[in-house]
Amino acid sequence: MGVGDQAGERWAAAARANVPPFHVMDMIDAASRRAATGAPVFALHSGQPATGAPEAVRAEATRLLASGDPLGYTPAVGIPELRAAIAEHYGAWYDVDVSPDEVVVTTGASGGFLLAFLAAFEPGDVVAMARPNYACYRNVLMALGCRVVELPTGPETRFQPTVDQLAGVRGLRGVLLASAANPTGTMLLPGELAEIVAWCEEHGVQVISDEIYHGLEYAGTPATRLSRTTWSTSRRPVVFGSFSKYFSMTGWRLGWMLAPAHLRRAVEVLTGNFTICPPALGQRAAVQAFSATAGAELDGHVARYAANRRLMLSRLVDMGITRLAPADGAFYVWADVGHLTSDTLAWSHRLLADTGVAVAAGVDFDTEQGHRFVRMSFAGDPGEIAAGLDALAAYV
């Protein structure tokens, strides 16, 4: 080997950074390039609300900016007012008593994943999750040297894992639960969630519970809500929440973690080292996201998602796309389009080019069967969704 080859090896990214790409980013890119030419785009690919932050949050951010407040660093784990508001939110929504000391504000749930995984797992630890799943869990765990075990799931368990599956994983150290999940939108029923959490506690398995889609569910009335925070069963899991989805604040990059006592100090030290603190302006303004006026505005968004969801499910069935995951929550429909293509990645780019309809190919979420699936979001503008479904119906 020559000197040049050695130098070539030296100036390369570390092997652990070699995680799979998130293909939906290419779709976002292709859709915006098409939109820039003036051609129509019907955005069903992106998991974010078309609306902005609640009015009360925006007003507070505007006030703070105008006041000349220096908006300096905050405590690493977040400002006390926001941690208190988040803690109260658990009382209001779930009747669960959470102390502000147990809340860590993070830069989106995404920023929190890195903290939780580092705090909870050693390199080589086996961490299980359902397949399909949200690719970033897998990719971040892999970059940290953990061994990811995917548990194949299907409609018979609403695409959620079971205790039997977990019991079959040798050397299991951790499990990722997501209810409602991305990409399927399916939820664990309260009894199923409690059963998994109890089993994990008994077997020393660290649960990481992604609850960032709470508030977005369609199966029942508020009184019969399926969403239960994992902390209503046990205080050992790490629980994630976010301002991105129900609160309609994706780009503000704010989320939170309920940190169990055994991880709290490690998380606090890590977060101070990584980012010093989450963005100060967002934290200060986000306190208003829990106000009554913001709640009324946000529940209006949920009513719109529910109408979008009804339209999307019925239109898809009408056009012969009938194998759909039960879209209990979040704002996604996970559709098997295996009768139309065996390569949804290429198909979705052709669909965009021919019709302007943008969907997310399943390969990001399901490493085995994703080539038959697409994920469609109903978080967007109702008119755009209806027009996109018309174009899709004409295409298929």
Ligand X SMILES: Cc1ncc(COP(=O)(O)O)c(C=O)c1O
Nearest approach, Cβ of residue 180 and ligand X (Å): 8
147-152 vs 126-131, strand pairing mode: parallel
Is the CB of 282 or the CB of 341 nearer to ligand X? 282
User: Which amino acid is residue 60, in one-letter code?
Assistant: E
Find the residue with minimal CB distance to ligand X. 108
Is the CB of 331 or the CB of 341 nearer to ligand X? 331
**Pairwise CA distance, residues 308 & 303, whole Å:** 9
Q: By the 8 A CB rule, do 332 and 18 touch?
A: no
Is the CB of 251 or the CB of 320 nearer to ligand X? 251
Is the CB of 325 or the CB of 341 nearer to ligand X? 325
Is the CB of 230 or the CB of 244 nearer to ligand X? 244
182 to 136, 306, 332, 369: CA distances (angstroms)? 11, 17, 7, 15
326 contact partners, CB below 8 Å, separation of at least 6 = 155, 158, 185, 186
Nearest approach, Cβ of residue 265 and ligand X (Å): 23
Nearest approach, Cβ of residue 46 and ligand X (Å): 9
172-178 vs 206-210, strand pairing mode: parallel
Is the CB of 140 or the CB of 355 nearer to ligand X? 140
Is the CB of 165 or the CB of 242 nearer to ligand X? 242
CB environment 103-132: b (16+ within 10 A), e (fewer): bbbbbbbbbbbbbbbbbbbeeebbbbbbbb
Positions touching ligand X (CB under 6 A) are 47, 108-110, 134, 178, 182, 210, 212, 242, 244, 250, 255
Nearest approach, Cβ of residue 21 and ligand X (Å): 16
**Pairwise CA distance, residues 245 & 365, whole Å:** 19
DSSP string, 286-338: HGGGGSHHHHHHHHHHHHHHHHHHHHHHHHHHHTT---B----BTTEEEEE-T
Nearest approach, Cβ of residue 219 and ligand X (Å): 18
161: helix, strand or coil: coil
Nearest approach, Cβ of residue 57 and ligand X (Å): 15
Rg (CA), the chain: 21
Nearest approach, Cβ of residue 28 and ligand X (Å): 12
The CA angle 208-211-217, to the nearest 5 degrees, is 150
Nearest approach, Cβ of residue 134 and ligand X (Å): 4
Is the CB of 40 or the CB of 52 nearer to ligand X? 52
DSSP state of 20: P
